[in-house]
Amino acid sequence: MMELPRDKYLILYDGECNLCHSVVQKIIVYDNKDVFRFLAQNSEKGQIVCQSYGVKNTLESIILISPAGETLEKSAAVFAIASQLPKRFLWIQCFRIFPRSLCDRLYDYIARKRYFWFGKSSTCLLPTPEIKHRFL
Model pLDDT for residues 31-43, shown as the tens digit of each residue: 999 999 999 999 9
Count of beta carbons in the 10 Å neighbourhood of residue 136: 18
Strand partners, 135: 38
Model pLDDT for residues 99-115, shown as the tens digit of each residue: 999 999 999 999 999 99
Model pLDDT for residues 110-135, shown as the tens digit of each residue: 999 999 999 998 776 678 888 899 99
Query: Considering only CA atoms, which of 109, 131, 118 is closest in space to residue 27?
Result: 131
Tell me the domain boundaries of the chain. Answer: 9-128
Model pLDDT for residues 68-97, shown as the tens digit of each residue: 999 999 999 999 999 999 998 989 999 999
Count of beta carbons in the 10 Å neighbourhood of residue 31: 20
Query: Considering only CA atoms, which of 65, 36, 48, 45 is closest in space to residue 133?
Result: 36
Inform me whether the pLDDT recorded for 54 exceeds 70. yes
pLDDT of residue 127: 80
| Whole-number Å distance between alpha carbons of 121 and 61 | 17
